[in-house]
Amino acid sequence: MPSMRAVLERREKAALVRVEELRAEFELVRAALAEAEEVLNHRVIGLEQYLEALTEQDGTTTAVVPGPGVAGTAVEEPASGTGPSRTVARKADGVSIRVLGPDYRHIMAVFEETGGDSLTARQAAVALGWDTGPPARVEGARGRLKRLVERGWLVEQRPGRFTLPVPKPGAV
């Protein structure tokens, strides 16, 4: 009959082998997940670019949006009947947030609620109530925030930190 110590050592060795097998399997699954997430990120970005190009191809019209104390400001808007707006109008003096699509208006409302605090893409996505589990969802938020920065609606203070622009002195 084997000693108690030998039985326990055998059990420990068997448990150690099982742990190492599971770690190896876990690393394979983690690598496959990272690869799948990368593919998904590329697909999300590709789809957004396709939809933007499709919207531009359908044509845009220029509308004059009255601003305070000015005759009007020209803003590109999607032609009627093109579906939801995926393009973001450039911000000009006196242009209202109403020229933005619903998703972008919601994003701007979140930033207005922060009172000037900067947010990361993940924080903005959480504040918007979006699922932030898959990295592609956070990247989608980051893409929208970057688009708002390019058009002058938001400012990227430092890489990855977004906030509302500081009003110019004398601006109402």
pLDDT value of residue 153: 86
Instruction: Compute the distance between CA of residue 108 and CA of residue 29 in angstroms, rounded to an integer.
Output: 38
pLDDT value of residue 82: 42
Mean pLDDT in each 10-residue stretch from start to end of the chain (172 residues)?
92 97 95 89 84 70 38 42 56 75 86 85 87 83 89 87 78 52
Tokens of 97: 């947030």
The C-alpha angle 101, 105, 107, rounded to 5 degrees, equals 120
pLDDT value of residue 83: 43
pLDDT value of residue 72: 40
pLDDT value of residue 103: 82
pLDDT value of residue 166: 79
Rounded to whole angstroms, what are the CA distances from 160 to 71, 117, 118, 120? 37, 13, 9, 6
Under 8 Å between Cβ of 74 and 63: yes
